[in-house]
Every structure is written in structure tokens, then in C-alpha cells.
């Protein structure tokens, strides 16, 4: 058994809550994050291609969005794109493209958050 000092206060608090209280706490946290976002998100699986320069080489990788907003997206991409890398997003279905920056990396190497350089409500072609 772990010593008392090893138990996180949050974990201890969550253990005392009923399932209904836990769900209520999670809902409050989700609402807080949503209010902090600059634009609402929509779940959308859209094919995309990322293009970026790495030294003298031009790199590309295919990907799929998880969710999109006026200001960017979260996507799963078939390459290890570095954080803060300037990228060009291309939507193969429509041919539309936009400049962006990798602003988030998930625990898995394939997950990225991309901020569009110029937010565009119509870029993705889906209702947000």
C-alpha cells in the first residue's frame, strides 16, 4: 500500500465523490475549457496534407482532422512534425490551403494541434 504522502489530493477528493458528483465536476471542467477557447469546435474527420520545410528539404504528410474550429484543428498526422513548425495545410478534397503553426503535440507522436495564421470560418467547409 502507498504511503499517505503519495496520494494526490485530487485523487483523494475524487474518491470521496459519488459518480454523479464526479460527472458534475467533469462537466464544470469541460465548460471552463470551452469558455477559454477563442472559437467553438466541431468534430470533423477531414483529410488534409501538411507541408513544411526541414532544412533544405520539403516535407509532406497526410493526416485526418479530429476536430476543427475557425482558428485551427486537432489532427492525427503521419509524421513527427515539430512543435512551433510553420506548416501549410492543404485540403485535397477542395484544394483549399492555409498557413498555420503546430502549437500542440499530444502524447502520441501523431497528434498535433494546428493554429491557422489567419482564422477563417469557412476554411474547413463544415458548420462549426
Q: What's the pLDDT tens digit per position in 19-29?
A: 676 677 777 76
CB half-sphere exposure, 23, CA atoms < 13 A: 3
CATH match for 41-116 among 3.40.50.1220, 2.40.10.220, 2.40.37.10, 3.40.50.920: 2.40.10.220
C-alpha cell at 31: 465548460
- pTM of the predicted structure, to 2 decimals: 0.70
Q: What's the pLDDT tens digit per position in 62-95?
A: 999 999 999 999 999 999 999 999 999 999 999 9
Whole-number Cα distances in Å, 38 to 23, 33, 44, 72, 119: 25, 10, 18, 10, 10
By DSSP bridging, strand 72-77 and strand 57-69 are antiparallel
Spell out the residues 6+ positions from residue 27 whose beta carbon is closer than 8 angstroms to its own. none
Strand partners, 68: 42, 73
Amino acid at each position: 500500500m502507498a504511503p499517505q504522502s503519495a496520494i494526490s489530493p485530487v485523487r483523494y477528493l475524487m474518491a470521496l465523490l459519488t459518480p454523479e458528483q464526479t460527472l458534475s465536476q467533469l462537466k464544470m471542467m469541460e465548460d471552463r475549457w470551452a469558455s477559454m477557447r477563442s472559437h467553438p469546435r466541431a468534430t470533423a474527420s477531414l483529410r488534409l496534407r501538411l507541408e513544411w520545410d526541414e532544412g533544405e528539404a520539403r516535407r509532406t504528410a497526410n493526416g485526418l482532422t479530429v476536430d476543427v474550429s475557425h482558428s485551427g484543428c486537432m489532427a492525427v498526422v503521419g509524421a513527427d512534425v515539430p512543435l512551433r513548425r510553420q506548416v501549410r495545410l492543404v485540403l485535397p478534397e477542395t484544394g483549399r490551403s492555409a498557413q498555420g503553426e503546430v502549437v500542440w503535440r499530444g502524447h502520441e507522436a501523431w497528434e498535433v494541434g494546428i493554429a491557422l495564421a489567419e482564422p477563417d470560418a469557412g476554411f474547413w467547409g463544415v458548420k462549426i
